[in-house]
Amino acid sequence: MLNAKITGIASYVPDYVLNNDELSRMVDTNDEWITTRVGIKERRILKEEGAGSSYMGVKAVNKLLQETNTNPDDVDLLICATSNPDYRFPSTASVIIHQCGLEKRCYGYDVEAACAGFIVAAYEANAYIKSGLYKKVIVVCAEKMSSMTDYQDRSTCPLFGDGAAAVLFEPTEDTSVGIIDGLFHVDGSGLPHLMYKAGGSAKPASHATVDSREHFVYQEGRAVYMNAVMDMLTSSKDVMARNNLTCDDIQWFIPHQANLRIIEAVGKRLGIDPSKVLVNIQHVGNTSAASIPLCMDENKHLFKPGDKLILTAFGAGYTWGAEYLVWG
């Protein structure tokens, strides 16, 4: 029997910092309003001309390969989780594979699970490795959220930032470490509350869709908040119960970095010590699928072998879930 364990994490965020003061000169908002409602002080924005999500994904993957001393020719599979692909086709994974020189043996594809993209893709990596099909799998989450952010909408533009993170999964015969369990759900009735209205096959781009500003994130904040809190809470409880875990057994709780109030509400209702809840939303904002691995990379110096981690996320669809892993 094999398990998939994390053997490396690397990340990349753009240099440009968009803070609340600058944002308040772009739209009717202010630092106090943003900080008290979502807990974000600044976010990173990709400014390079013609650069998409793959630009950041390539940076993260190359850093991962270097830090783990991994030969590009040994990588079997790359899964790219993104809601902001460079193109409708080809896949962003194919672009990253080419630019990182992984073509010799690496296959790749994109996963679109919105903000839950990392935990979904990680569980897929786990399945490939447990089956014995692949030995080295990279999950890269790359999100140029600024490309779908309406900087005239004061309710959504403070939320999002750009970034990417890459995680290497490899097999271990020690089944007490690595990804132990995961639990995932999808509820398509959430479609009207959190969506990108135009540009797909149901509503192709047109002068009318551009004029009505339908090529940006649309979110009904109250509905999303209530569902995010309840669904991340229940999925975390369920995966813990399935594995006979209490909050005392957990060393680190890493929720999707969507909104500080959501994170605090989930942690409080779960009953977990706030010191165990990892948060970095203050300086990177909501980076969608990249948020959990970005937070993990930033805090990996804290993780010790045997530490038990619960990851949970909620995103458009609605799609949500929780994952239990033991640090190897």
What CA–CA distances, in Å, run from 201 to 88, 186, 214, 221?
11, 21, 14, 26
The residue length of the chain stands at 328
Give 230's DSSP letter.
H
User: For residue 131, what are its two tokens?
Assistant: 């089956």
Which residues neighbour 168 within 8 Å (Cβ) at sequence distance 6 or greater? 6, 7, 8, 9, 64, 68, 70, 136, 137, 138
256 labelled catalytic = yes
Q: Are 227 and 282 in contact (CB under 8 A)?
A: no
Task: State the residue for tokens 């009953």.
Answer: 271
In 3D space, the residue among 136, 61, 81 whose CA is nearest the CA of residue 106 turns out to be: 136
From CA 168, how far away is CA 78, in angstroms rounded? 9
Amino acid occupying residue 239: V
Catalytic residue among 115, 141, 157, 295: 115
69 labelled catalytic = no
Catalytic residue among 3, 62, 84, 286: 286
Catalytic residue among 100, 106, 256, 259: 256
Count CB neighbours of 82 within 10 A. 31
80 labelled catalytic = no
Long-range interactions of 26-32: CB distance < 8 A, separation 24+: 26/151, 26/157, 27/151, 27/152, 27/153, 27/154, 27/157, 28/154, 29/154, 29/157, 29/158
SS3 for 60-129 is: HHHHHHHHCCCCHHHCCEEEEECCCCCCCCCCHHHHHHHHCCCCCCCEEEEECCHHHHHHHHHHHHHHHH
Residues serving a catalytic function are 115, 256, 286
